[in-house]
């Protein structure tokens, strides 16, 4: 992204490979319609012919308005939760995002090659992977999971705050129609801070409920299991990351155990 000076200032976005134009078009349709309801969602600005992105040297580029604010902190978890609740409360008639696999159908990566320091953890990683597959299958079999618009990448860098309010929800490339509880579980962890994890979860959920979040209370019991699943999913994906952070993966494994 590049900030362009002007009145008003604009942000130039460049999509780097891998590129799926159908998926990007879906994303732009979603954020354009969301921005009509949620001012913190920056919509792509249309060109004269109505297109929301153009190709430059094979890469999609587009413009959005520049939204002010600073990255959210763990102490902002309630207002972040409220923003997530407002997103989940919006209903838009859209098909599933093309080219995306959702948590309920997500192919779980096999256990890949890791540094030798992970050898003692390999039995746990393998068992955790099997447990995650079993849990997802069991949830699917019930057929009673609430789906809706999900961001799927809520963390401090994608949420801007000003005057104790969310001013921007950024980066919609993981958005989809998916399990609301998955979006909640993935969003809680980056905002736990140094607080007791149970207290941080309760605080986040309270902010979500106060803002009218649509996740049914009886699905809250899935939050901690799905937080644990996300930790293991990060570990399983690490061998294929461009620049793996193995220290973070050891922390994920520690968190997986602590949340047992």
| Contact call for residues 107 and 101 (beta carbons, < 8 A) | yes
pLDDT per residue as tens digits for the range 116-169 = 999 999 999 999 999 999 999 999 988 789 999 999 999 999 999 999 999 999
Mapped onto helix, strand or coil, the DSSP state of residue 237 is helix
pLDDT, residue 7, reads 86
pLDDT, residue 206, reads 97
Q: Between 76 and 107, whose confidence is greater?
A: 76
Structural domains in the chain plus CATH codes: 2-67 (3.30.200.20), 74-258 (3.90.1200.10)
3-state secondary structure 88-127: HHCCCCCCCCCCCCCCCCCCCCCCCCCCHHHHHHHHHHHH
Residue closest to 125 by CA, chosen among 197, 174, 117, 104:
117
In whole angstroms, give the CA distance from residue 110 to residue 112. Answer: 6
Flag whether the pTM goes above 0.85: yes
Mapped onto helix, strand or coil, the DSSP state of residue 179 is strand
* Residue located via tokens 């200032």: 9
pLDDT band at residue 2 using 50, 70 and 90 as cut-offs: confident
pLDDT per residue as tens digits for the range 169-186 = 999 999 999 999 999 999
The structure tokens listed for 30 are 């979603």
In whole angstroms, give the CA distance from residue 224 to residue 136. Answer: 14
Angle at 57 between CA 56 and CA 63, to 5 degrees: 20
Q: What's the distance, CA 7 to chain centroid?
A: 31
pLDDT, residue 193, reads 84
pLDDT, residue 110, reads 95
Burial, 46: exposed, middle or buried (Cβ in 10 Å; 0-12, 13-18, 19+)?
middle
In whole angstroms, give the CA distance from residue 97 to residue 106. Answer: 13
pLDDT per residue as tens digits for the range 37-96 = 999 999 999 988 999 999 999 999 999 999 999 999 999 999 999 999 999 999 999 999
């Amino acid at each position: 992204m590049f900030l362009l000076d002007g009145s008003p200032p604009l942000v130039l976005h460049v999509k780097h490979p891998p590129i799926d134009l159908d998926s990007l078009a879906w994303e732009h349709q979603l954020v354009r319609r969301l921005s009509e309801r949620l001012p913190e969602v920056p919509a792509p600005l249309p060109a004269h012919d109505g297109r929301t992105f153009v190709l430059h040297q094979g890469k999609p580029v587009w413009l959005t308005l520049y939204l002010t604010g600073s990255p959210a902190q763990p102490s902002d978890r309630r207002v972040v939760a409220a923003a997530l609740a407002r997103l989940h409360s919006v209903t838009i008639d859209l098909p599933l995002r093309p080219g995306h696999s959702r948590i309920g159908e997500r192919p779980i990566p096999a256990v890949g090659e890791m540094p030798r320091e992970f050898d003692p953890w390999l039995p746990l990683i393998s068992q955790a992977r099997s447990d995650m597959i079993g849990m997802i299958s069991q949830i699917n079999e019930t057929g009673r999971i609430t789906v809706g618009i999900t961001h799927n990448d809520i963390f401090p860098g994608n949420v801007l705050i000003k005057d104790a309010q969310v001013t921007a929800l950024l980066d919609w490339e993981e958005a989809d129609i998916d399990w609301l509880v998955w979006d909640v579980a993935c969003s809680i962890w980056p905002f736990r801070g140094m607080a007791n994890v149970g207290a941080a979860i309760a605080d986040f959920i309270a902010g979500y409920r106060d803002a009218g979040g649509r996740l049914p209370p009886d699905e809250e019991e899935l939050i901690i299991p799905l937080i644990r699943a996300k930790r293991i999913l990060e570990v399983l994906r690490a061998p294929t990351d461009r620049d793996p952070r193995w220290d973070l993966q050891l922390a994920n494994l520690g968190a997986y155990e602590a949340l047992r």
